[in-house]
Amino acid sequence: MTVIATESLTKRYPRVTALDRLTVDIAPGVTGLVGANGAGKSTLIKILLGLAPATEGRAAVLGMDVATEGAAIRAHVGYMPEHDCLPPDVSATEFVVHMARISGLPPSAARERTADTLRHVGLYEERYRPMGGYSTGMKQRVKLAQALVHDPRLVLLDEPTNGLDPVGRDDMLELIRRVHTEFGISVLVTSHLLGELERTSDHIVVIDGGSLLRSSSTSDFTQATASLTVEVTEHEDELVEKLTAAGLNAHADGRLIMVDIDGDETYDAVRDAVAELGTGLVRMEQHRHRIAEIFRGGDEHDAA
């Protein structure tokens, strides 16, 4: 069963091709859609909502054709835009009730589900205050709530962690995870950072320049790309030798040493090797993946 299916989906604007024969099937669960800015993520969402016609190809959402059943799709899909969309002089309750009614919920159901949904996203007393005074984190929660209020079967979240601080980012990612695990709603979440979607998504789709670069489950991704960055005060070359001798894939990258993570033992091996050499360990951190790495690894992992 698929929630989203596209078949050589193409969108051409007069000057640019936003989507180029994109064929991808997305199963229920949390799917991360990763791509640099301008990779075609927002265009894809617009087409999936039935708001922009595709130039070529077809797409179906929840088994409904985007070209002919746009309104029915929009009744069962929630959308959280990337940009700000909240009027500042209205309270969160007032706003979410209104959006619920625009989605077709009768007045009493709209009020009830607004109260429930705002509680689920973690908005309590402040929901009666005008939204102009909210922090970015609170605004993102209201945006998520309005996408969930009509109990959709699928939500499309466009860059939900944009503008959030690290703690807010983690809270939002945890919340997105819960949307699937606890609410049973499938999620398509976009980001330009692969690293943050790894922890949240079951499946990751990477697009670039409007075409599919890679589509695979998150575990495949992390195994292939997780690496550790180590910086030491001296003896870099000896450390690389020692780690290689210990059966790890390590190489020097300037003053840094990159080690492929092969389970928790990798950390121990690095620690022991550093201790044996008696050198100073400046830092040891899990590497944050960026789109660029997918490009480098692109040839070994053939795109679907």
Partner 1 sequence: MTQLEGRPPAADVIHDIGYRHYDGPRLGRGYARKSLYVQSLRSAYGLGRSAKSKVLPMILLAVMCGPAAIMVAVAIGTKATKLPIEYTQYVIIMQAVIGLYLAAQAPQSVSLDLRFKTTPLYFSRPIEAVDYVASKFAALTTALFILTGTPLLVMYIGALLAKFDVSDQSAGFAKAMLAALLLSMLFSGIGLVIAALTPRRGFGVAAVIAVFTLSYGAVTSVQGVASINGNADVIGWLGLFSPITLIDGAQTWWLGATSSFPEGAGPKDAVVGTVYLLVLLAVIAGSFGLLMRRYRKAVLS
Q: Which of residues 132-191 bind partner 1 (CB under 8 A)?
A: 146, 150-151, 153, 174, 178, 181-184, 186
DSSP 1-48: --SEEEEEEEEE-SS-EEEEEEEEEE-SSEEEEE--TTSSHHHHHHHH
Strands 56-61 and 64-65: antiparallel
**Does residue 69 interact with partner 1 by CB under 8 A?**
no
Q: Which residue lies nearer to partner 1 by CB, 90 or 224?
A: 90
Question: Does 79 help bind partner 1 (rule: CB under 8 A)?
Answer: yes
Contact range with partner 1 by CB under 8 A, out of 82-90, 207-215, 233-241, 263-271: 82-90
Residue pair 121/112 in contact (Cβ under 8 Å)? The answer is: no
- The secondary structure of residue 65, as a DSSP letter, is E
Q: Whole-number minimum distance, CB 186 to partner 1, in Å?
A: 6
Shorter beta-carbon distance to partner 1: residue 52 or 284: 52
Locate tokens 């908005």: which residue?
123
63 near partner 1 (CB under 8 A): no
Taking CB under 8 A as the rule, does residue 280 contact partner 1? no
> Which secondary structure element, helix H or strand E, spans residue 92, and what is its range?
helix 92-102
Report the residue from 38, 81, 137, 297 that binds partner 1 according to the rule CB under 8 A. 81
**Distance, CA of 249 to CA of 238 (rounded, Å):** 14
Q: Is the dihedral of CA 75, 116, 91, 170 positive or negative?
A: negative
Looking at beta carbons only, is 115 or 284 nearer to partner 1? 115
Q: Could you tell me where the DSSP H helices lie in 105-258?
A: 107-120, 136-148, 166-181, 194-198, 218-225, 236-245
Q: Which amino acid belongs to residue 210?
A: G
242 is a site residue for partner 1 (CB under 8 A):
no
Angle between helices 265-277 and 236-245 (to 10 degrees): 130
Using rule CB under 8 A, residue 98 touches partner 1: yes
Determine if 301 is a binding residue for partner 1 (CB under 8 A).
no
User: Residues 22, 24, 30, 105: which binds partner 1 (CB under 8 A)?
Assistant: 105
Per CB under 8 A, 102 contacts partner 1: yes
Compare residues 25 and 84 and give the one whose CB is closer to partner 1.
Answer: 84
Site residues for partner 1 per CB under 8 A: 1, 3, 28-29, 46, 49, 51-52, 71-72, 74-75, 79, 81, 83-90, 94, 98-99, 101-106, 109, 113, 116, 120, 122, 130, 146, 150-151, 153, 174, 178, 181-184, 186
